[in-house]
């Protein structure tokens, strides 16, 4: 209670204006701050990415030049005239002599003098026999078979295989030697090994301020050359489309460039904090701006809210005296148009309330007298039941057994309708049928032999809960509009049956009266929708009340009262209800 009281004291108009304005202003400042921060940070990131891309282009350009240089060198060796003639002789089936292999060595050494980085050059025949250097090692013993097949598929193009498994500091490449004068037929293989230092990425020509880490990765994910500061996980070395990667507790932005000539990649890892440089200063500037702006607006809002609410507080003080009975008009206390309008409205209200006090006082006196007369005019239901009981015993004494039973039925009928509390609005089907049976006994006596009735259905349905007085109005309607309108004996059947829907039952009241046309049935539906259909005498709950109560109690669980009738074929009124429904839980 104390907390609620404190909240009510704080929940003033001035505080609401102050809080509302502050929330709006803070929302504006925060939105502008977020927008500015997002735009500027995006600009900084774009600039950093452009720098990284420029570095990647430079590194890729350098690698392309080195690869092209090596491709040109091996092409010159493979197309050298002396080498072509000697390889053609070997390909023709004549093995080269030792002196001819020395000529090969001389030509290759001469070509190798014009290029740096080449560790060794080897020539092999189509039969994989070594021609240079002057050894007896077969090509099969130098490289894997898959490399040889890949060189065959390349059709004379230089094929790069990355790091040599037998020499980790060397890079291996193979190309087929093709004879120009013999329609480019295959003559053997040229195997070249290059020092890894030949592919160094960082030098004086590559723009890098030391923040990026670069590496040259071959097709199998092995590092050929790099300046990585630590071991790189294998999943990072593989091709990846991730915008950021986390490695050794730090976040990096990966940039990859493909080298089409060799199938290798240049991988550049830039610390994410490098791309975010300057964001901390920007964030601090925005936070200070928001705080200063919020403080200034708080002061201005406080002054404005005080100017608005001060006259209203004076008016509230004056109006509080009204609850103690001092309903007196107030003079204007402000030059503000709205406040003066409040004063005028209050003065008009005071005058009107003074008039109402007199009118209400007189009405209360009249109402008290009326209620007293109404209480005096009420009939005690017990008086009616006691009277019927006395009549029953008088008829019993005179051996009027049939009349006595009718009196008992009437007494039960009245007790069912009148003597139940509102909490007993739900009954069972058995209670409803018992009430209907009493009503039919009375009607049977009135109509003598013109009425025949029966109740059909399984006993299992008698325990189903149902709102009171749903069946008897339908029976009353069947007798009034069916049996009484028929010449001869009429019948009324109350039928309980299971429906096609599991968990539901149907209660029908069927008569063999004259029936109704389709237009009459449609008009009854329309009248029920408007709530204007009553029983034969125009009193009682009526069938429209039955339909309305069905929809009220069951909602979507029922379709309301259904009418089936044809001229000369009688009428059937029925409704479906769920078997497990109603009671005190509803």
Domains of the chain: 80-199 (3.30.450.20), 327-376 (no CATH), 439-578 (3.30.565.10)
- What is the structure's pLDDT at 271? 76
Instruction: Find residue 256's DSSP bridge partners.
Output: 267
Q: Give the mean pLDDT of 203-222.
A: 66
CB distance 509 to 572 below 8 Å: yes
* pLDDT level of residue 577 (50, 70, 90 thresholds): very high
Q: Give the mean pLDDT of 3-24.
A: 65
- Return the closest-CA partner of residue 218 out of 169, 267, 175, 166: 267
- What is the structure's pLDDT at 5? 44
Q: Give the mean pLDDT of 378-385.
A: 46
Does 3 score more than 60 pLDDT? no
- What is the structure's pLDDT at 356? 76
State the average pLDDT for the chain. Answer: 77
- What is the structure's pLDDT at 295? 82
pTM of the model: 0.43
Q: Which two tokens stand for residue 49?
A: 């990415």
Does 400 score more than 80 pLDDT? no
- What is the structure's pLDDT at 413? 64
Q: Give the mean pLDDT of 379-401.
A: 54
Dist. CA 484–CA 537, nearest whole Å:
13
CA 247 vs CA 79, 202, 217, 229: distances in Å? 48, 22, 17, 11
Q: Which two tokens stand for residue 405?
A: 């039973």
Burial class (CB in 10 A: 0-12, 13-18, 19+), 454: exposed
Does 253 score more than 80 pLDDT? no
Most confident of 13-17, 333-337, 475-479: 475-479
- What is the structure's pLDDT at 429? 92
CB distance 430 to 463 below 8 Å: yes
CB distance 201 to 59 below 8 Å: yes
- 425-451 burial by CB neighbour count: b if 16+ within 10 A, else e? ebbbbebbbebbbbbbbebbeeeeebb
Most confident of 244-248, 381-385, 444-448: 444-448
* pLDDT level of residue 372 (50, 70, 90 thresholds): very low
Does 414 score more than 50 pLDDT? yes
- What is the structure's pLDDT at 323? 61
- What is the structure's pLDDT at 10? 60
Tens digit of each residue's pLDDT (9 = 90 or more) over 230-244: 677 766 666 666 667
Tens digit of each residue's pLDDT (9 = 90 or more) over 273-328: 766 666 667 677 777 877 887 788 778 777 777 766 776 776 676 667 666 666 66
- What is the structure's pLDDT at 208? 47
- What is the structure's pLDDT at 258? 80
Instruction: Name the residue with higher pLDDT: 370 or 54.
Output: 54
* pLDDT level of residue 7 (50, 70, 90 thresholds): very low
DSSP letter, residue 130 = E
Does 510 score more than 90 pLDDT? yes
Tens digit of each residue's pLDDT (9 = 90 or more) over 21-73: 777 777 887 787 777 777 777 777 777 677 777 877 888 888 888 888 888 88
Phi, psi values for residue 168, rounded to 5°: -60, -20
- What is the structure's pLDDT at 456? 92
Most confident of 148-162, 333-347, 408-422: 148-162
- What is the structure's pLDDT at 276? 61
Does 382 score more than 50 pLDDT? no
CA distance between the termini of the chain: 34
Instruction: Name the residue with higher pLDDT: 348 or 362.
Output: 348
Tens digit of each residue's pLDDT (9 = 90 or more) over 100-159: 888 888 888 888 888 888 888 989 988 888 888 888 888 888 888 888 888 888 888 988
Dist. CA 582–CA 432, nearest whole Å:
14
- What is the structure's pLDDT at 319? 67
- What is the structure's pLDDT at 544? 84
3-state helix, strand, coil in the chain (%, to 5): 55, 20, 25
Compute how many other C-beta atoms are within 10 angstroms of the C-beta atom of residue 4. 8
Helical pair 279-320 and 337-377, crossing angle rounded to 10 deg: 60
- Percent of the chain, pLDDT > 90? 12
């Amino acid at each position: 209670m104390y907390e609620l009281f404190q909240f009510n004291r704080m929940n003033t108009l001035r505080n609401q204006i102050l809080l509302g304005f502050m929330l709006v202003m803070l929302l504006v400042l925060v939105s502008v701050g977020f927008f500015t921060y997002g735009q500027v940070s995006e600009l900084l990131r774009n600039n950093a990415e452009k720098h990284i891309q420029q570095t990647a282009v430079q590194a890729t350009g350098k690698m392309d030049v080195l690869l092209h240089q090596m491709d040109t060198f091996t092409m010159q060796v493979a197309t050298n005239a002396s080498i072509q003639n000697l390889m053609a002789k070997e390909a023709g089936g004549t093995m080269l002599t030792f002196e001819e292999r020395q000529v090969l060595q001389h030509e290759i050494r001469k070509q190798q003098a014009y290029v740096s980085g080449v560790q060794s050059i080897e020539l092999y025949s189509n039969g994989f026999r070594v021609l240079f250097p002057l050894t007896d090692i077969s090509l099969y013993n130098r490289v894997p078979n898959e490399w040889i097949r890949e060189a065959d598929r390349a059709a004379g193009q230089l094929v790069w295989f990355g790091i040599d498994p037998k020499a980790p500091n060397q890079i291996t490449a193979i190309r087929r030697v093709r004879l120009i004068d013999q329609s480019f037929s295959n003559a053997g293989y040229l195997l070249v090994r290059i020092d890894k230092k030949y592919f160094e990425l960082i030098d004086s020509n590559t723009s890098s301020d030391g923040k990026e880490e670069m590496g040259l990765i071959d097709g199998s994910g092995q590092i050929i050359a790099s300046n990585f500061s630590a071991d790189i996980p294998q999943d990072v070395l593989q091709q990846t489309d991730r915008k950021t990667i986390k490695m050794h507790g730090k976040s990096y932005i990966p940039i990859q460039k493909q080298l089409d000539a060799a199938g290798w990649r240049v991988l550049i890892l830039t610390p994410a904090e490098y791309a975010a440089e300057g964001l901390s200063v920007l964030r601090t500037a925005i936070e200070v701006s928001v705080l200063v702006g919020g403080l200034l607006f708080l002061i201005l809002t406080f002054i404005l809210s005080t100017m608005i609410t001060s006259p209203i507080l004076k008016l509230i003080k004056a109006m509080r005296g009204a609850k103690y009975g001092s309903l007196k008009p107030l003079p204007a206390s402000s030059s503000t148009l709205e406040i003066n309008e409040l004063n005028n409205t209050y003065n008009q209200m005071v005058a009107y309330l003074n008039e109402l006090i007199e009118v209400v006082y007189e009405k209360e006196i009249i109402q008290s007298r009326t209620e007293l007369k109404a209480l005096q005019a009420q009939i005690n239901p017990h008086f009616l039941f006691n009277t019927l009981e006395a009549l029953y015993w008088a008829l019993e004494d005179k051996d009027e057994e049939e009349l006595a039973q009718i009196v008992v039925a009437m007494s039960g009928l009245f007790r069912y309708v009148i003597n139940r509390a509102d909490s007993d609005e739900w009954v069972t089907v058995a209670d409803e049928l018992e009430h209907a049976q009493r009503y039919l006994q009375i009607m049977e006596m009135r109509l003598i032999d013109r009425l025949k009735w029966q109740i059909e259905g399984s006993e299992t349905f008698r325990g189903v809960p149902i709102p009171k007085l749903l069946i008897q109005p339908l029976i009353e309607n069947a007798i009034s509009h069916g049996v009484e309108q028929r010449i001869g004996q009429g019948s009324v059947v109350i039928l309980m049956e299971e429906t096609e829907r599991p968990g539901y039952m149907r209660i029908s009241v069927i008569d063999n009266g004259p029936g109704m046309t389709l237009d009459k049935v449609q008009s009854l539906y329309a009248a029920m929708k408007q709530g204007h259909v009553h029983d034969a005498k125009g009193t009682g709950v009526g069938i429209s009340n039955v339909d309305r109560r069905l929809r009220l109690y069951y909602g979507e669980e029922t379709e309301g009262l259904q009418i089936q009738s044809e001229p000369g074929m009688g009428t059937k009124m029925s409704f479906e209800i769920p078997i497990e429904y109603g009671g005190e839980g509803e």
